[in-house]
Amino acid sequence: MTRETDPHRTATLSVRVWRGGGEGAYAVYDVPRRPSQTVLDVVTHIQRRIDPTLAYRYACRVGMCGSCAMTVNGRARWTCRTHVEAVAADDALTIGPLAHLPVIRDLVTDMREFFDKWARAKGQFAPTATRREEFARIVPESEARRAADAAIECIGCGICYASCDVVAWNRAYLGPAALNRAWTLHNDPRDGARTERLAAIAGDAGCHACHTHQSCTERCPKKLAPTASIAGLKREVARAVLAGELV
């Protein structure tokens, strides 16, 4: 007898979903259980079959875009890649918007602050060469490239940001994603904004605010380690301070 044919298992899930803005309440919906059901399937069922006023985001639904990130039973997850079986062991499911971001409505958050901090951390590549120069030669096994490669796969889903307590405690903190991106660029020899970027990510709102909780690393669906990137940034800032290079 498998879990799915077990007659004692309920045929419906009782799902609590956040409705409202920053102020609101959880509404309860009964959703039929299905094999291999994901949390995104549950939310979609509610919006299409029960309550069309429910607001939520998704796009690819195959774990590539990060749009469907929400808080599921207290933890930030990609809902398209979260099987109901894995998180609703006692048939209880609570779905809310990502934490630490203003709520526009229901499960939709305003991501502007997340991306503004990305920009403040100078998380953009600053080119130095033109089409007339030779191609840059990057050695894949070099320490710098390996450091960048370990952190480069971030798709900006916001799960680390929503999982980080320092983001909640220190409103100016740039957050794990922005700092992780800054680290990949710091390790790119083609980039021309090294000095400005180090100054941008240093200090009370930058890498020095990280307390190595490792919540970001625990929750990242791409298995990245922003904690490691931020530790690297701390090392590089210390080096720059001692060398008199930090502006």
Partner 1 sequence: MTMPRSGWRNRRHAGWWAFAVHRVSGVALALFLPLHFWVLSQALGGAAALDAVLAWTDQPLVRPSEVMLVLFLAVHLTGGVRLLIIEFGGWRESWQPTAIAVAGGAATLCALVFALNLG
Partner 2 sequence: MSAARTQSFLWLAQRASAAVLAVCVVVHLATMIIAVRGGLTAAEILARTRGSVAWAAFYGVFVLAVAIHVPIGIRTVVAEMRGGHSRGVDGIALAFGVVLVVLGTRAIIAVTGA
CB atoms within 10 A of CB 37: 18
* Contact assessment for residue 208 and residue 147, using Cβ atoms and an 8 Å cutoff: no
Interface characters, 90-119, with partner 1 (x: CB under 8 A): ------xx-xx--x----------------
Q: Which residue, chain included where needed, has tokens 């499960």? A: 107
Rounded to 5°, the CA angle 208-211-216 comes to 105
What's the closest the beta carbon of residue 100 comes to partner 2, in angstroms?
12
Stretch that binds partner 2, among 31-39, 67-75, 92-100, 196-204 (CB under 8 A): 196-204
Q: Is 119 in the site for partner 2 (CB under 8 A)?
A: no
Q: Which is nearer to partner 1, 96 or 193 (CB)?
A: 96
**Cross-strand pairs, 20:** 24
Q: Is 204 in the site for partner 2 (CB under 8 A)?
A: yes
Task: Give, rounded to a whole angstrom, the gap between the first and last alpha carbons of the chain.
Answer: 67
Strands of 12-20's sheet in order across? 12-20, 92-96, 69-72, 75-78
127: tokens are: 């080119």
Stretch that binds partner 1, among 8-16, 48-56, 131-139, 159-167 (CB under 8 A): 159-167
> Rounded distance, CA 214 to CA 228, Å?
9
The site partner of 18 among partner 1, partner 2, none (C-beta below 5 to 8 Å per kind) is partner 1
> DSSP character for 38?
B
CA-to-CA separations, 128 to 121, 139, 200, 238, in angstroms, rounded = 19, 18, 19, 25
Stretch that binds partner 1, among 4-12, 40-48, 164-172, 186-194 (CB under 8 A): 164-172
The only residue of 104, 108, 144, 228 in contact with partner 1, by rule CB under 8 A: 228
The site partner of 84 among partner 1, partner 2, none (C-beta below 5 to 8 Å per kind) is none
The site partner of 225 among partner 1, partner 2, none (C-beta below 5 to 8 Å per kind) is partner 1
Interface characters, 70-89, with partner 1 (x: CB under 8 A): -x-xxxx-------------
The only residue of 119, 138, 139, 172 in contact with partner 2, by rule CB under 8 A: 172
* Contact assessment for residue 77 and residue 159, using Cβ atoms and an 8 Å cutoff: yes
Q: Is 170 in the site for partner 1 (CB under 8 A)?
A: no
Q: Is 213 in the site for partner 1 (CB under 8 A)?
A: yes
* Contact assessment for residue 188 and residue 127, using Cβ atoms and an 8 Å cutoff: no
Site residues (CB under 8 A) for partner 2?
166, 169-172, 199-200, 202-204, 206, 208-209, 234, 237-238, 241-242, 246-247
